[in-house]
């Protein structure tokens, strides 16, 4: 029996697999396919204080081995999350990471404060969404704003706090170090890469918002490189994601230095992707004489 449990900056996960925020709602929509309690954690869709409408449609476009999205963090607000989604996850026995979004520093803090009384296991501070005009990536691209938002959230909670980074920067290790210095317990990366798609026939963009975030197998090499860079730049653990669709993909992220991983776009391709990734990691360990999945973290040979 392979030991699968990991400690992600104080968050105890029964295995290293969670879902990428925004690809799994708050779990219930996948409830017919996946026992959410069997996941290392469920990471919920980004939540803001009073809810947002999101962007106009079309919000997605398929691209080579990937997809673009510009959902725009549509959500019903933190009260709804507390009343409806968190109780369901608790009933199911899930470990809960709430992705926290805001348009301003104050909103991030207010969302964390509103959640402090709820049975949440960890926060993921979303300073990396590319599809909003304020907050998200606009904060996560600059050392100063990263430090101020992460410090402010840090002051609001003692719970494990993961900070989710954007790849749309010149040097992700600089941002990673800033988040670590400001009190992050772990980092998750990568959020989507800003991209666009055009229909040559109509001469129009495929997304209503013109640009959107690229995800899926196409981004995996970039995500792996950034996880590897951050592993060598910070001491806090990493939650790796970007194009993971199989156990082998997940193992590659662990080898690059991730302590845990998230399955994102693959949920859309295959509703049981998370379960298959967990099984695939365990099988890899068995086949390779690995007793404890923690042995794989950063075990890249080079």
- Which residues does the annotation mark as catalytic? 129
Half-sphere exposure of 91 (CA within 13 A, CB side): 11
Distance CA 268, CA 260 (A): 20
- Checking phi first, is residue 288 left (phi over 0); if not, alpha (psi -120 to 50) or beta? alpha
- Checking phi first, is residue 40 left (phi over 0); if not, alpha (psi -120 to 50) or beta? alpha
CB atoms within 10 A of CB 266: 25
Is the Cβ of residue 206 or residue 254 nearer to other proteins in the bound state? 206
Half-sphere exposure of 35 (CA within 13 A, CB side): 4
Binding residues (CB under 8 A) for other proteins: these are 22-25, 29-30, 32-33, 45, 50-54, 57-62, 64-67, 69, 71, 74-77, 80, 84, 216-217, 265, 267-272
Structure tokens at 263: 């399955």
Scanning the chain, the segments in alpha helix (DSSP H) are 78-80, 86-92, 105-115, 137-140, 143-156, 172-181, 220-231, 247-256, 266-269, 273-287
Residue 88 beta carbon to other proteins: minimum distance, rounded to whole angstroms: 11
Structure tokens at 64: 């080579």
Give 110's contacts (C-beta < 8 A, 6+ positions apart). Answer: 49, 102
Cβ contact 290:2 at 8 Å:
yes
């Amino acid at each position: 029996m392979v030991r699968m449990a990991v400690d992600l900056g104080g968050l105890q996960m029964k295995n290293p697999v969670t879902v990428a925020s925004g690809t799994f709602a708050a779990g219930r929509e996948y409830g017919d396919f996946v026992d959410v309690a069997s996941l290392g954690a469920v990471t919920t869709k980004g939540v803001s204080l009073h809810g947002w409408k999101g962007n106009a449609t079309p919000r997605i476009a398929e691209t080579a081995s990937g997809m673009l999205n510009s959902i725009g963090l549509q959500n019903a607000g933190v009260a709804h999350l507390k009343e409806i989604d968190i109780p369901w996850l608790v009933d199911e026995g899930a470990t809960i990471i709430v992705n926290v979004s805001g348009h301003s520093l104050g909103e991030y803090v207010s969302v964390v404060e509103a959640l402090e009384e709820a049975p949440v296991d960890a926060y993921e501070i979303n300073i990396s969404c590319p599809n909003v005009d304020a907050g998200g990536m606009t904060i996560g691209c600059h050392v100063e704003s990263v430090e101020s938002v992460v410090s402010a959230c840090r002051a609001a909670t003692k719970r494990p706090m993961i900070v989710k980074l954007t790849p749309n920067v010149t040097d992700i290790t600089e941002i990673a170090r800033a988040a670590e210095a400001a009190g992050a317990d772990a980092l998750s990366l990568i959020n989507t890469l800003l991209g666009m798609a055009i229909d040559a026939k109509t001469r129009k963009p495929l997304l209503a918002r013109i640009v959107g975030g690229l995800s899926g197998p196409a981004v995996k090499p970039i995500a792996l490189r950034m996880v590897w860079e951050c592993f060598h730049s910070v001491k806090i653990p990493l939650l790796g994601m970007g194009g993971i669709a199989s156990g082998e993909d997940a193992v590659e992220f662990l080898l690059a230095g991730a302590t845990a991983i998230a399955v994102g776009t693959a949920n859309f391709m295959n509703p049981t992707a998370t379960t298959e990734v967990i099984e695939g990691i365990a099988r890899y360990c068995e086949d390779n004489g690995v007793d404890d999945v923690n042995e794989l973290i950063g075990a890249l040979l080079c």
